[in-house]
Amino acid sequence: MQWTRLIGQGTWMLENDPEQRAVEALRLGVELGMTLIDTAEMYGHGRAEEIVGRAIAGRREGLFIVSKVLPSNASYDGTRRACERSLRRLGIDCLDLYLLHWPGSHPIAETVRGLESLVRDGMTERIGVSNFDVEELRAARRASRNVPLACNQVLYHLGDRGIERRLIPYCRENGVTVMGYSPFGHRDFPKPSSQGGRVLADVAARHGKTPRQVVLNFLTRDGVFAIPKSGDPTHVRENAGGEGWRLPDEDIAAVDRAFPAPDRDVPLGVI
Ligand code: NAP
């Protein structure tokens, strides 16, 4: 399912950036085509959603807004109340996608029923999950009755490509969009002096791009979404340039060799 461009904007810890600059960064990202904004009730205890709300006030059209319910709130009624609070903070009537943030202690069937009721009541267009490995996703899909699970948001960066082995193929076969989070490894972007950093710099130089643009292009090469977070307009501009061009096969192979996917199945990585 192609909702928007594949590169969107994350908002975890955006509340720690100067607020006006964060608002301007989000708006610039939207202008540059990063119209998908990912947030969650957890981020800054709702502060990130409020900042997104400021950034999108009066400009809802054409945006794709994603938020998430905390597992501890994800009973049937709790999911509904959490969604209402998120909508209020965001200043919108309806989300484009609402996710369970990670598997929790409430039975998944109950959470899925709660999520489905939100679609029925026009509070979100789509529902999904986050941090679900194949078996958990299979169980969640079995629990869904009326509304398919549209998305699984999971960790995906050059240092953790485990989802390429089983999860991406499973999602692809079952029509579940994969949204990769922490595309720069959160705070662990390869150092320029490292071997991998030098490979990224070489590839980037060949195409007049930056190493981060190469990374975003690589991660989205097969239709997986990437949602880099930045509260800095200069960085936002750079991130938007990760899409709209294509790494040739030999450069994809070079990045692949420098940052190999695991050669056996590994548990889903989480941050
Ligand atoms: P990330 O996007 O991999 O990296 C963010 C860090 O990179 C920030 O320190 C940011 O600083 C910096 N950065 C971004 N663009 C840059 C650029 N062009 N040049 C230099 N530095 C740059 O990490 P993340 O925030 O962990 O992940 C992205 C989003 O995924 C989150 O914000 C959140 O929306 C989502 N997420 C979801 C889950 C989940 O459980 N579902 C977990 C983690 C994250 P500046 O702000 O200063 O640019």
pLDDT tens digits for 39-69?
999 999 999 999 999 999 999 999 999 999 9
3 inside domain: no
CATH number of the CATH domain containing 18: 3.20.20.100
Atom of ligand 1 nearest to the CA of 230: 46
What is the extent of the structural domain holding 27? Answer: 14-258
Tell me which residue has its CA closest to atom 18 in ligand 1.
Answer: 235
pTM of the model: 0.98
- Write out the catalytic residue numbers: 43
Q: Residues 191-232: pLDDT tens digits?
A: 999 999 999 999 999 999 999 999 999 999 999 999 999 999
Q: How many domains does the chain have?
A: 1
Q: Residues 72-90: pLDDT tens digits?
A: 999 999 999 999 999 999 9
251 inside domain: yes
266 inside domain: no
φ, ψ for residue 22, nearest 5 deg:
-65, -40
**Three-class SS state of 164:** helix
Torsion angle, CA of 168/170/176/181, rounded to 10 degrees? -30
267 inside domain: no
7 inside domain: no
2 inside domain: no
Q: Which amino acids bring their CB within 6 angstroms of ligand 1?
A: 10-12, 38, 101, 130-131, 153, 181-187, 212, 227-232, 235, 238-239, 271
Per-residue CA distances from 252 to 43, 200, 221 (Å): 33, 10, 9
CA separation for the pair 123, 97 (Å, rounded): 9
Q: Residues 157-172: pLDDT tens digits?
A: 999 999 999 999 999 9
Tell me which residue has its CA closest to atom 34 in ligand 1.
Answer: 10
Mean pLDDT across the chain: 97
51 inside domain: yes
111 inside domain: yes
Q: How far apart are the first and last CA of the chain?
A: 26
Distance 111 CA to ligand 1 centre (A): 27
